[in-house]
């Protein structure tokens, strides 16, 4: 496993959005923080404790500790048809099974939340579930075609699938406009799409290239990451012409049905939760 990706959306138009990568054995605290003891994940809401909790990464999953003595936290699986866990006050190291999750804290207003992209789930070899034949074969790329991050990937690949002569890939705003017509993604934001692209590049497709060398925040960096993701997806046939049917129709028509969100795993940002930034399957803000 290469770790997890955490996205905290922009808070009340003041604090900028935060994206944090944690590797195995690493931890990050979340809450309002204090001048002498800042937290890695800032949640500047007066109803949130200064030290509300902690996320700690293990080899194949992550754990959540709730430091509050009065409030429970929720960990939702945005792509799991309402599936969630309740983390009781003072609960330490609760294992979180979702591949993509939204952590929700209560406030005096509505809620405060952030998204977590976790390691791929590992499944038994269907031809040898007991492992009697020796070491199992691992998939090179594990993609959930019902997840929002896959829809983002299809939108990135669409121009080259329709016209191989096209060199450029869609920009992040273009991806937003392309898939936001889906009824489950009407609140999708550019930050959420960027988080999905980061998740695809760093966790799912493990691309290396221009985005690793260009100056942080530069247009070249983002362009390089999108092109690298598209290159891997098309070269290895991870996205094909039949996947274009997952995208919303460009022509006016009846509302699209809800996607068949899988419930046996959590995925990235996106089912629109509206993910909150990455929102529901949508991580940073969707």
Residues sharing a CB contact under 8 Å with residue 14, sequence separation 6 or more, in sequence order: 44
Residue 141 falls inside a structural domain: no
Among 86, 89, 25, CA closest to 53: 89
What is the predicted pLDDT for the residue at 266? Answer: 37
104 with 158, same domain?
A: no
Does 111 share its domain with 152? no
State the pLDDT at residue 244.
94
CB 93 within 8 A of CB 56: yes
CA distance 49 to 68: 7
Q: Are residues 156 and 234 in the same domain?
A: yes
Q: Tokens standing for 247?
A: 């995208």
CATH number at residue 100: 2.60.200.20
Asked whether residue 175 is assigned to any structural domain, the reply reads yes
E strand or H helix that includes residue 252 = none
What pLDDT is attached to residue 4?
Answer: 87
- pLDDT score of 150: 94
Residues 156 and 221 in one domain: yes
Quote the pLDDT of residue 118. Answer: 83
Determine, yes or no, domain membership for 129.
Answer: no
Supply the pLDDT for residue 195.
87
- Of 70, 94, 117, which one is at a domain's C-terminal end? 117
Q: Show the domain range for 177.
A: 148-246
Pick the closest to residue 281 from 173, 152, 169 (CA basis).
152
Is residue 256 domain-resident? no
Could you report the average pLDDT of every consecutive run of 10 residues in the chain (286 residues)? 79 72 92 90 90 91 94 87 89 91 88 84 63 62 87 94 80 94 86 88 76 42 81 91 91 50 39 38 40
8 assigned to some structural domain: yes
Q: How many domains does the chain fold into?
A: 2
Cβ atoms of residues 87 and 75 within 8 Å? yes
Q: Tell me, yes or no, whether 34 lies in a domain.
A: yes
Q: What's the whole-model pTM score?
A: 0.57
Burial class (CB in 10 A: 0-12, 13-18, 19+), 91: middle
What pLDDT was estimated at residue 103?
95
Q: Is residue 138 part of a domain?
A: no
């Amino acid at each position: 496993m290469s770790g997890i990706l955490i996205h905290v959306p922009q808070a009340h138009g003041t604090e900028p959005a935060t994206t944090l990568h944690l590797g195995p054995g690493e931890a990050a605290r979340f809450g309002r923080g204090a001048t002498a003891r800042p937290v890695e994940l800032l949640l500047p809401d007066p109803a949130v404790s200064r030290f509300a909790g902690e996320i700690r990464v293990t080899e194949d999953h992550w754990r959540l500790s709730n430091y509050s003595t009065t409030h429970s936290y929720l960990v939702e699986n945005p792509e799991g048809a309402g599936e969630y866990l309740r983390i009781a006050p003072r609960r330490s190291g609760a294992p979180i099974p979702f591949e993509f999750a939204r952590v929700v804290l209560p406030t005096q207003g509505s809620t405060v939340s952030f998204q977590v992209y976790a390691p791929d789930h590992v499944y038994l070899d269907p031809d040898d579930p007991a492992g009697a034949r020796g070491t199992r074969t691992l998939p090179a790329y594990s993609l959930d075609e019902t997840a929002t991050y896959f829809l983002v990937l299809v939108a990135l690949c669409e121009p080259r699938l329709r016209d191989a002569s096209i060199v450029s890939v869609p920009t992040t705003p273009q991806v937003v406009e392309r898939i936001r017509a889906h009824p489950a993604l009407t609140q999708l934001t550019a930050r959420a799409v960027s988080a999905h692209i980061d998740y695809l590049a760093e966790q799912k497709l493990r691309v290396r290239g221009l985005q690793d060398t260009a100056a942080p925040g530069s247009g070249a960096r983002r362009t390089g990451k999108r092109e690298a993701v598209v290159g891997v997806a098309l070269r290895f046939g991870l996205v094909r012409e039949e996947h274009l049917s997952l995208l919303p129709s460009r022509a006016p028509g009846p509302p699209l049905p809800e996607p068949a969100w899988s419930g046996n795993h959590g995925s990235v940002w996106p089912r629109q939760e509206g993910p909150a930034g990455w929102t529901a399957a949508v991580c940073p803000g969707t």
